[in-house]
Each structure stands twice: as structure tokens, then as C-alpha cells.
Structure 1
Amino acid sequence: MKKSLIAFAVLGAFASVASAQSSVVLYGIVDASTSYTTNQTAIGGKKLSLDNSNLSSSRWGLKGSEDLGSGLKANFQLESSLSVDTGTAGSLFDRIATVGVSGDFGTLNMGRQTNLAYDTLVQVDPLNVAHVGTNPNIVLGGLNNATLYGTHGTSNGFSSATRQNNSVKYALPSVLGGINFGAMYGFGEKAGDASASSYAGASAGFSQNGLTAVFSYGQMKDATNSSTLRVYTGGAKFVVNDEFTVKVTYAENDLNTTGRTISVFGAGVDYMLTPQTTLTAAYYANRRSGDMKAKADQYVGVAKYALSKRTAFYGSFSYAKAGTTAAKDQELGLFIGAGNKTATRTTVGLLHAF
């Protein structure tokens, strides 16, 4: 018995040391809502649905770090998408799968991770990344559209370009009171052509005294190295006072082979009505030029009530208007049904974070 007690004491001591030097956290977001959407068929049909991820993307993941001493840490993150409405998930750790190190020199991560355009826009998005599946800054600016962007970058045509496989991302610590820089490269891994299916980008930002300004540039090659997609993103967020925050963004991507240019201008404001209640209004102007002319606009309002630090009840109303009833305009409208020029969506939902 004494030996057993001693053994348990020793194991407990080792466990205490290990927990002091390293940590692993299970985390996630579960977001479900009911939506009523108009003009979803050619004759203006309506749709009532239970949706997933209308305030924030549902997900679950593991992340952790180990203290290596002298200010150096080893880090990892594994994150998977989650569809609450059906109880299904994407491929395991389809959102993030990285391992890296951090210290006074900055942070270096390797694996599957978001591109710099996405990283830039989510910091200043007028909707705070709500309605991720139809948010123009995410779908068009952050390249989360497999049809338009999936043929370029390290996804090799199997998914959108928002997340890049086989990538290395470096973030420099803030210097001179709030200036930061970043760089990222994704390996195309094609034998005989190192540039094909590759991604390369750089970013810069500033944050001080309530003002955040961010910019990024990236370029992606297709599998044959015959086409280049260039991406430019930028935006700013200004905290006017304890109640008001104003945000402005601009994103543009250009395809050199066809001359296609897709741009998104976004503007919005957050108003804290009470410590628990936040109202958000946002506007997006989506445009296409070069290969063809197309346009659509979105107007979105969101009300969020915090039931606790981790749980929120929310409602939203969205209105989308395309330039014409043609498919090229509806593609930019993002939730307008075929044969329609406008659509509305009313959503009520609940989000819990853990």
C-alpha cells in the first residue's frame, strides 16, 4: 500500500510539472438558426430552413503549447468544421492542421491554414464574419468559392482557396507600438515545376489607440503554371467610443488569363446598445469586370444579445439585389435564387462557445 501511495504521489508530481510546461485545450463553437428566405426559385419560391453557422462558423478543435524554455514554445492546432443542422463534419481537421514554434522572433506555423486575404478581412469585416456562407468578404474577398478560385493555389481544384495546404506562415511580433508584418508560402508540390499550384503572400498591419489598419497581397498559380490569380485586401476599424465602432474594407482579385476582376467594398458599424446587446449594420458592393460586367449589393442588419460570455441569442435581416436576373449577377448576390433580381433572409439563432 505504501509503495502504491508513493507511486501515485510521484505520478502526480510529474503530472503537475507537465501541466505547468504544456497545455492542451478542447474548444469549439456550436451555432444553429432558423431562416426564412425569399426568391429561391424561378417563380419566387420561399424557403424555411434550419441553418448552420449564421453568426459564426460551427467548429471543434484541439490546440496546445509546450514551454521549451528561454521564451520558446512549441504549438499545435487541429480544427474541424461542424454542421450542427445535420450532425456531420467535413474531413478531419479540414479547417486547420498546424504545428509550429513561437518566441521573441515571432510565430512560425506549418500545415493547412487560412490564406492572408482571409486573415486580413476577418479582423475588420463589417459583419464580424457573420453569415459566413454568404458574406462577400469571405466568399469573394477571402476566396471561399471553389468554382471561382479552387483551380489556383495548393488546393489543386479540390476545395476553395481560403485554406492552403502544405503552407508555412510567419508572423512578426508587433514593433514600434503596433506595427506588424506577416508572410506565407504554400508549396504546390508538383514535380519539375516548383511554382505550379503554389501560393505566396505578405501582409502588414497597424493597431493602436482604437485604430486597426490591415493590408495583404497574395498570388496563386494554377496546376499548369499558366495562370495567376492575384489578391489584394485591406481595411480599417476605428473604435469611436465605448458604443460605436466603424469598419471599412476593400478586396479585389484579378485573373490574368481572362482579365476577370472581382471586387468587394464593405462598410459597417457596431453599436453597443447595452453591455449585453450589440447592433450591427453592414453594406457590401460586389462587382465583376474585365471578362464580363456583373454586380450585386447586400444590406445586412444583426442584433446579438449575450446571455453569458459564451452563449448568445441573435437575429438578422439581409437584403440582396443583383444588377439583372442573369446568373452572372446572382453569383455575386450569393443567396438570390435563379431567375430573381432580389432576395431577403430573416434569421433567428443561438450560438454557444466552449
Structure 2
Amino acid sequence: MKKTLIALAVLAASSAAMAQSSVTLYGRLDAGLGQTKTTINGVGEKQVGINSSNLNTTYWGLKGSEDLGGGLRANFNLQSRFALDTGAVSGDMFSRLAIVGLSGAFGSVDLGRNYTAYDTLRSATNNVFDSNFATNSAVWGNGIADYSLRTSNSVTYTSPNFSGFSGAVGYAFGENKNVATNVNGSATDTASLHIKYANGPLLVGYAYQEEKQLAVANVQDKNKYNLIGATYDLGVAKIVGSYNTAKNNTLKDKEYSVGVSAPFGAATVAAGYSSSKSEGFNANNKGTGYSLVGTYDLSKRTTLYVGYMQAKTQTVNGSIETKATNVATGIRHTF
């Protein structure tokens, strides 16, 4: 009887400890047969083979949370990207995400390498499921370089949800000041924020990001991004759209994208279009891109897909035309 009571006490204590603290292994695996082709002024090559991360990026991660009492929790999240076709790690081990922080009724504060607050809204309003078949990243940034979706040395605050309204703000410290040569403007700090309303079928929001550039002749420029995006779920179809401007001292870009997705039981079909135009000093660049994706859910965790994307950009006042296409079919599994 005493042994039984002791065993029950140990089990209860162990269960309580597990409830207070947890660690989860999770990830996503994506591989498929595909063909990619890139040409510059009509000259290029195509490749056919097994590729990783056609629909979504392949990664594995560890995340955990500890109950500190009084509604306060300590949290961490680590993500490592790798190529499923070769097994090779892409970049540093946890370059995809590496954060630790606290959360509670006040919201959450995270420190480390994190997605920017601007990226949170941009990914939520990107077309074709924010997948790697979306052409925004290929078409936008045709004049000014596209935004940094992750930043190191950052602190991020995310608010709680107030009847559908929420927001976030982040700041990344550019820890690259050149003390030896005393170069002014060598710290490339990044600031970002977003505010959005998400309730029922509607999501709409605004996001801003400012990235300091390396100084040239002690003059430091800034790339500034302003995004307005929205989605609306009609039930039979979901519509997404966004408009973005990017500007610095010499260039100004205007960019937009639209998309629609429609479910048919376990299958879903999505189409998207994106466009960009850049004007300014010695520049008259433009780009367009479109994509079509179909998915079929074998289960909640396993999905078959087929997709096609094409992006075309014209730079240096139209003298250089770059065309990129990707067609692939494969399988994605999450765990």
C-alpha cells in the first residue's frame, strides 16, 4: 500500500512538472521533382531533379515553455533550415529562428534572431499560401533590395489581442560599428512594426520597416518599406492583396500583389499575381510574376502539391531582362 502511494505521489509530481515546463520537437519536410530555369536576355540553363523546399521551406525546430506562475511564462524557439535532397544545413545552425523571452497578459517579449514585425503582416497577406511559389520576393525589390525578413540582435514586443486588434514592434541592433577606422554610419540597425485587425473572415493591417544601410562617404541612407495588406475569406474562396512602397534617397518602388484560393474538399487551388515598378536616379525598372498552385491533403500533416511560377524583371532601363520559372510536384509533411 505504501509503495503504491509513493508511486502515485511520484507520478503526480512528475505530471505537475511536465505541465509547468515542456519541450517540443517539430518541423516540416518538403521535397519534389522539379524543373527550374533562369535566363538573362534569353540566355540561360534549365535543371531537372529532386529539390527541397518547393512549396515550403524544410526545417526542424525545438520550442519550449515554462510556467513561472502568476500568468507569466518563459519561452524559447529554435529553427534550423536544411536541404532535404542533400541533408546539408543551410546557413548557420539556427539562422531561421533563435529566440528566448517572456509572455503573459501584457503580451510577449522575445530576444535573439527573429522575424521582423513587418514580415508578420507581409507573410499573412502574401498570395498562394505564402509559399515558395509566390513571386513577390522575385518581383518586388526590383529597384531597392527587398526587405530583411529576419534580423539578428533583435528585441520584439507583440501585444495581446484586443477584440481583433493586435500589433508588434521590433528593433535590431546593427552590431557592426567599425571602431578601428571610426567609420560613421556603419551600424545597420533595423526597426519594424505592424498593426492589424483580424476577426472573422477579415484581416487588414499596416506594416513599416526601416533598414539603415552601410554609409558611403560618411552618408548613411535608409531603405523604408510601407505595406498595406488584407485578406477576406468568402468561404468558397479567399482573396488576398497587398500594396507596398519602398524608398531611399535615390529610388522609389511601387509594388502590389493579388491572389485567390479556393478549397474543393481535400484539394485547394490558388493563383497569384505580383507587379513592381521602380523609378529614380538612372533607373526605370519593372517586373511581373504569376503563379498557380494546387494542393491535396492526404491527412492533417501530409500534403501533395503541384505548382508553377514565372517571374520576369527588366533592369538598367530595360536593357537587362531576367526570366525565372519553376515547376514542381512533391510532398510536404509536418511533424
Q: Same fold (TM over 0.5)?
A: yes
Q: Which residue of 1 aligns with 2:225?
A: 231
The SS at the match of 2:224 is: strand
**1:102-136 deviations in Å (ceiling 9; x for gaps):** 1111111111001122211111111212126xx44
Q: Is 2:179 aligned against 1:188?
A: no
Q: Which amino acid aligns with 1:27?
A: Y
Which runs of 5 or more residues in structure 2 are unaligned? Answer: none
Q: Which amino acid aligns with 1:282?
A: G
Out of 322, 332, 335, the residue aligned to residue 351 of structure 1 is 332
The SS at the match of 2:17 is: helix
My pick for the range that moved more, 218-227 or 102-111, is: 218-227
CA contact (8 A) 2:139 2:289 kept: no
Q: Which residue of 1 aligns with 2:72?
A: 72
Q: Which residue of 2 aligns with 1:205?
A: 196
Post-superposition offset of 1:315: 0.3
Q: Which amino acid aligns with 1:73?
A: R
Post-superposition offset of 1:316: 1.0
What is the correspondence of 1:48-63 to structure 2 with a 5 Å cutoff? 48-63=48-63
- Distance in 2 (alpha carbons) for counterparts of 1:328 and 1:7: 77
Distance verdict in 2 for CA 1:165–1:39, change over 3 Å: closer
Q: Which residue of 2 aligns with 1:106?
A: 107
Post-superposition offset of 1:268: 0.4
Q: Which residue of 1 aligns with 2:31?
A: 32
- Distance in 1 (alpha carbons) for counterparts of 2:61 and 2:233: 31
Q: Which residue of 1 aligns with 2:243?
A: 250
- Distance in 2 (alpha carbons) for counterparts of 1:58 and 1:327: 36
- Distance in 1 (alpha carbons) for counterparts of 2:139 and 2:313: 15
- Distance in 1 (alpha carbons) for counterparts of 2:117 and 2:319: 29
The SS at the match of 1:88 is: coil
Q: Which amino acid aligns with 2:194?
A: S
Distance verdict in 2 for CA 1:81–1:328, change over 3 Å: farther
- Distance in 1 (alpha carbons) for counterparts of 2:280 and 2:238: 35
Q: Which residue of 1 aligns with 2:46?
A: 46
Post-superposition offset of 1:35: 1.4
Post-superposition offset of 1:140: 6.5
Q: Which amino acid aligns with 2:280?
A: G
Distance verdict in 2 for CA 1:28–1:172, change over 3 Å: same
- Distance in 2 (alpha carbons) for counterparts of 1:232 and 1:316: 29
CA contact (8 A) 2:101 2:109 kept: yes
Q: Which residue of 2 aligns with 1:281?
A: 271
- Distance in 1 (alpha carbons) for counterparts of 2:120 and 2:186: 23
- Distance in 2 (alpha carbons) for counterparts of 1:163 and 1:204: 18
The SS at the match of 1:55 is: coil
Distance verdict in 2 for CA 1:75–1:298, change over 3 Å: same
Q: Is 2:154 aligned against 1:167?
A: yes
- Distance in 2 (alpha carbons) for counterparts of 1:105 and 1:148: 35
Q: Which amino acid aligns with 1:349?
A: G
- Distance in 2 (alpha carbons) for counterparts of 1:261 and 1:31: 36
**1:316-342 deviations in Å (ceiling 9; x for gaps):** 122333447967542xxxxx2xxxxxx
Post-superposition offset of 1:287: 2.3
**1:52-84 deviations in Å (ceiling 9; x for gaps):** 212111111000111111111111001111111
Instruction: Give the TM-score normalised by the residue count of structure 2.
Output: 0.86
The SS at the match of 1:121 is: helix
Aligned-residue Cα RMSD (Å) equals: 2.8
Distance verdict in 2 for CA 1:97–1:278, change over 3 Å: same
Taking only the aligned residue pairs, the percentage that are identical comes to 31
Q: How many pairs does the alignment contain?
A: 321
CA contact (8 A) 2:314 2:320 kept: no
The SS at the match of 2:30 is: strand
Post-superposition offset of 1:40: 4.1
- Distance in 2 (alpha carbons) for counterparts of 1:63 and 1:211: 30
**1:266-309 deviations in Å (ceiling 9; x for gaps):** 100010012x1000010011222213111121111100000110
